[in-house]
Amino acid sequence: MELAGVVGPAKACELTGRSRATFYRRHRPPVAAARRSPKPYSERVQPRALSPGERAEVLAVLNSERFADMSPASVWATLLDEGVYLASWRTFYRILAAEGQTGERRGQATHPPHVKPELLAAAPNRVWTWDITKIKGPSKHSYFYLYVILDIFSRYVVGWMLASNESGELAKELVTQTCEKYGVDTLRLTVHADRGSSMTSKTVAMLYADLDIVRSHSRPRVSNDNPYSESQFKTLKYRPDFPDRFGTIAEARQFCRRFFAWYNHEHRHSGIGYLAPAVVYFGQAEAVHAARGHVLDAAYAAHPERFVNRPPVPPPLPKPAGINHKPGDQADAAGVPERSEVVPPQRSTTG
């Protein structure tokens, strides 16, 4: 550097054999030019972008009465068929997204939410539940239709019918005959079912209105709203002697007669203290419960050493039965007015 100051950079580089570029690079480093801060992406304007006026025109067309319920792609295709091109259909979506209008554009029919059925019965003939199940006939795709009405408090099958088809007229006939057979006070009765075509038919609805029966329906696609009928059908179809197919409808009826006689009078149901449904339905539960207690007392008196913790007691008497009711809701069922044993006591005028 000192030599360059005396003879000049060019002569100094020649005398020392060094490149002048190296000399200048080391002793006079370049000064970086000032750089502008980058512009935010949101503030950048692409030269090919639509102008604010064109964007406003597209938005006005999309929100017009003619196109308000059409998708942007459908609007774009419709305009194109009419010889009009405003922008690509993807640009339509971008404009709507910038305005927060990318939700459902079409008009939608709204339906009121279905109310969860809440039923509670503290005695027989307060709440019946009924359903229809198919059982296989003699050939492929042939079925018989089994209609079953169940009293949920006692689990007693109060009525059943086996038919070759499903219809509201047959359901009306079964409900009418069952009410007459047992002399049911229909003013205190609620009949619950799912939303099958027979259950929601006008024929059955008019019958309920004539008999002053409160009707209740399950929510769509919620099998838990009709648990008693579903459980009873499982008991039927999982019996060891239940065949894969029935040869004739007479054969199927004969099987159902045997099954329902066993189910009502011999089957000890776990939900009602292992009593037979007929015992509970006809008011014999307390007598049978007391007799069981006498047997257990005698067993305890004969061999108390065999019962380590406490004297044996029979299973408790049946408690109020309900649909979509918690155990705590059933505790005070015996103390509510008779008409309020079924909750809610509202009449439905629509399926």
d(CA 242, CA 236): 7
CATH number (3.30.420.10, 3.40.50.720, 3.30.360.10, 3.40.50.740) of 114-351 reads 3.30.420.10
Residue 337 has pLDDT above 60, yes or no: no
pTM of the entire predicted model: 0.66
DSSP letter for 245, please. -
Query: Taking the domains of the chain in order of start, what are their residue ranges?
Result: 1-29, 50-98, 114-351
d(CA 157, CA 161): 11
Residue 295's pLDDT band, with cuts at 50, 70 and 90, is very high
Match 């007479």 to its residue by tokens: 250
Which residues are CB-neighbours of 128 under 8 A, at least 6 positions away?
Answer: 149, 150, 151, 152, 158, 189, 190, 191, 192
Residue 35's pLDDT band, with cuts at 50, 70 and 90, is confident
121-165, pLDDT tens digit by residue? 999 999 999 999 999 999 988 999 999 999 999 999 999 999 999
d(CA 296, CA 287): 14
153-176, pLDDT tens digit by residue? 999 999 999 999 999 999 999 999
Which residues are CB-neighbours of 73 under 8 A, at least 6 positions away?
Answer: 89, 92
44-84, pLDDT tens digit by residue? 777 888 889 999 999 999 999 899 888 899 999 999 999 99
The strand ranges marked E within the chain are: 119-121, 127-136, 143-151, 156-163, 190-193, 214-217, 321-323
Using alpha carbons only, give the angle 200, 153, 188 rounded to the nearest 5 degrees.
Answer: 60
Residue 334 has pLDDT above 70, yes or no: no
313 φ, ψ to 5°? -130, 150
188 neighbors 120 (Cβ within 8 angstroms): no
